[in-house]
Structure formats: structure tokens, C-alpha cells
A and B are shown apart, each in its own frame.
Chain A
Amino acid sequence: MSIYLINKICYLAEHDPELREKLRRDPAAAIAGFELSEEERSAFLRGDVAKLHELGAHDYLLGHLRRYELLGLTREIYTRRMKTAQSK
């Protein structure tokens, strides 16, 4: 159930400016303290929002990563990647 933590990181990206700044500067360090599975950690760090959504992360929350353009997720990149997600 560690997908909860992916959702939480996305929530914090919107509501915790300090974590948002850390995600901007050094994403791997920013999420080091969260007990994610390796699959989740790797998908998060490469900005693979389709994979995270397939793993159960809420797409509305993933959208916060796009709004702040974290992990290289510009509007175009995020939207293109998300459209490749397989529906659950």
C-alpha cells in the first residue's frame, strides 16, 4: 500500500513549499525518507506518471507535479505520458 506515499508526496508538492523546493533541487534526496517500493521510487524519479497512475496513484494528485513542473514534467511531457496509461 505504499502507493499512499506517492499520493502523499504529490499532496505535499502542493501544500508543503519546503518539500516542493527539495523536489525541485534534488528529487532523490527529497523522497529518500519515504518507504516506497523500488518500482514506485524509480517511476517517480523518472517522472513516469503513467506508471504511477497504473500503480494506483490518483491522477488529480499527480497533476500537482505538472503544475510545478517537477521531475521535468512540463505540461506537454506530462500530458503525453499520462495518455499512454493503461486503464485499470
Chain B
Amino acid sequence: MAEIVAAFGVPHTPMAPGLVEREGPNCETARLFRAVAQHLEAVGPDILIVFDSDHLNTFFFNNLPTFSVGVAGRTEGPNDSNTILTRRPVLVSADLSNQVYRFGVQQGFDLASTQEFEVDHSIMVPLHFLTPRMQIPIVPIFINGLAPPLPAAKRCYALGDAVRHAVGAWSGRETVAILASGSFSLEVAGPKEGVTDQEWMDTVLTSLAAARAQELLEKATTERLLAAGNVSGELLNWIALLGVIGNRRPVFLEPQHGHAYAAWRWDR
């Protein structure tokens, strides 16, 4: 039986790869990504399920899923141009992505799917730092965190729960880790750009540190998320992660600007 063994959360700041190239391995961003990467290497999962919010690159208003699973054997990215990263192929677990999609739909979670897709910086920046050799196949699960109406936090938590059951019911023998990509308070190119909502950061960090997911679900309304910035709906990826892992305390949680770096391990 497949087993979920760990979870990780990181931002996907498009400037981060360029910043680390300029400032070197000892800069704060490099150290924080490395701390999470070391946890990931120690656990050594076979597959990484990634909760991600596409930035209207892979999907657009002509066809915009609230929840979608990338069901394929491979993908490629980034398909947007705001990072120094060049396009690379990425392995996708065809079997587990298919299982998550089918199991979800059959159990009443009406997921969309895409069998031919690319991914943007929000998947490639985390992988660049966490699995630079791109050796671990992913299962991308896209949550609309950018284009209101956003899904309810409770629904995203339930999605995580459904994903946990999908993995548990799968015939594979692989070990699986979860990755959440995104910020808690960030505005890109909007009127509130440059402003971090510190009060919201504190609320989110307190809930994560104390493993009080229910509290966060109550507070993370669409209005509250968007008040913290136009891409702050990316927190929904972290909430889906919490839906998978339940009320576990992180072994590592470090805030930076309007986001954080985190690791949850079952073996510690």
C-alpha cells in the first residue's frame, strides 16, 4: 500500500532563482529552501503530490477549473517568463495522477483533469530548489487561488482529505510526500503591491505552528484572503496540504516576507 510520509510548503517567488544565483548559497532564501530540501532528501519520497495555483498561464478564463489534476506521464515548464529558469521536462506519475482523479470523481469530488498541460513558475521554482535533478515524479493538483470566486477553504481542506484517501486506496507501493506552493500575503501588480499583511501572516503562522487547521478554515474566507493580496489565495494550497496531513505540528516552520517554508515529517 502506498504511504504518505511527509509534507512540505514553500513559496514560489519567481525572482528567487535569480536572487540565489546573484547572492550565493548563504543568502537567506537559499538557506530556507535548502532547509526544506534537506528534510525532503532525508525522507526520500518516491512521488510528490503538488498543490499549486496556476497564474492564468496553463489555464485561462476560456476554460478555468476550480480544481484540476494533471493526469499524464510528463509535463514541462515554466511556460511563463518571469523567472530566469529555462524550460525543462518534469516527470508526472501517470498512475497516481490517474488514481487521484478517478478516485476523487468516483467518491463525489468533482475534479477536472488535463492530459496535456504545461506548468508555470509556481511549480518550477519549488522543484528547482527542492528536487534540482527533477528525479521525483509529481502529481500536480491545481487549485484556483488567483481568479475569484476562489474555492472555500473548507472545500480545499476536503480536497486534501480526498487525496489522502485516494493514496490509501491505491495499489502502488510507493512513498508519497505532499508539497504546497505559494504565499500567504502577496500582491503582484495590483494596487496593494509591496504591502505585507502582517496581521494575516501572524494568524496563518500561529495556526500552522499549533496545528489548528479548523481555526484557519474559519478565518480564511475569500474576502480575508484577497484583503491580504491578489495572489494570497495561494494559501489554499497549504490548506489542502493540511487536509491531507491533519493536525500535525511542523518540524520546521520559518516565515519570510509574506510566505513561509515548512516541513512535516512522520518519522520525527
Binding site for B on A (CB under 8 A): 4, 7-8, 11, 14-15, 50, 53, 58-63, 66-67, 78-79, 82-85, 87
Check B225 for interface membership: any CB of A closer than 8 A.
no
Which among A14, A60, A78 is the interface contact of B146 at CB below 8 angstroms? Answer: A60
Binding site for A on B (CB under 8 A): 55-57, 60-62, 79-82, 146-147, 187-191, 193, 230-231
Which among A14, A61, A85 is the interface contact of B81 at CB below 8 angstroms? Answer: A14
Which residues of the partner chain A approach B187 to less than 8 Å between Cβ atoms?
59
The number of residue pairs between A and B whose CB atoms lie closer than 8 Å in the complex comes to 54
Is chain B's interface secondary structure helix, strand, loop, or mixed overall? loop
Q: Are A67 and B188 within 8 A (Cβ)?
A: no
Q: Are A63 and B189 within 8 A (Cβ)?
A: yes
> Assuming A7-B60, A58-B147, A83-B191, what are 11 further A-B pairs, CB within 8 angstroms?
A15-B79, A53-B190, A58-B56, A59-B190, A59-B191, A60-B230, A66-B189, A84-B191, A85-B190, A85-B191, A87-B191
> What are the nearest 4 A-B pairs in CB distance?
A63-B189, A59-B190, A85-B191, A59-B189
Which residues of the partner chain B approach A85 to less than 8 Å between Cβ atoms?
190-191
Q: How far is the CA of A59 from the CA of B79 in the complex (A)?
A: 19
Q: How far is the CA of A67 from the CA of B15 in the complex (A)?
A: 13
Q: Are A60 and B80 within 8 A (Cβ)?
A: no
Q: How far is the CA of A84 from the CA of B61 in the complex (A)?
A: 26
Q: How far is the CA of A15 from the CA of B56 in the complex (A)?
A: 11
